Amino acid sequence: MKYSKKKKIPSALQNKLSKLEEKLATRGLQVHYDLLEAAGLKLKGGICKIKGEYHLFIDRRKSAADKIETLQDCIDQPFPENIPDNDLENIQEENAAADDQDDKEHTPNDT
């Protein structure tokens, strides 16, 4: 198994990343650098809303320049207002309500 050394980001790029992250934080957006891969599929990053808070996920394997570009694009674009809340409890409640509705529709009448 190969192990690669973590590349050191030049201080100028690191400073730019930090400033952009701070700017997004003042807008209420939390930035996360994660390994965006599941079952061998590389996933795209993006903005999501979790329990009313906005989060931006970026693949940590991206180059510093790509991360900066993604952060800058997020700053330059108007903040989306229509991001659905990915609150697991709300999703479970909505699913339970939909299941109850389906049960009512498919229950045979006793008439």
Instruction: Output the pLDDT for position 47.
Output: 87
With contact defined as beta carbons under 8 Å apart, do 24 and 31 qualify?
Answer: yes
Q: Amino acid letter at 15?
A: N
DSSP code, position 11 = H
- The residue ranges of every structural domain in the chain are 14-105
pLDDT string in tens for the chain (111-residue length) = 555 566 688 889 999 999 999 999 998 899 999 998 888 888 888 888 888 888 999 999 999 999 999 999 989 987 666 666 665 555 555 556 656 665 565 555 554
Lookup: tokens for 51 = 């329990």
Instruction: Output the pLDDT for position 46.
Output: 87
Count of CA atoms in the C-beta half-sphere (13 A) of 75:
16
Instruction: Output the pLDDT for position 72.
Output: 94
User: Terminus-to-terminus CA distance in the chain, angstroms?
Assistant: 69
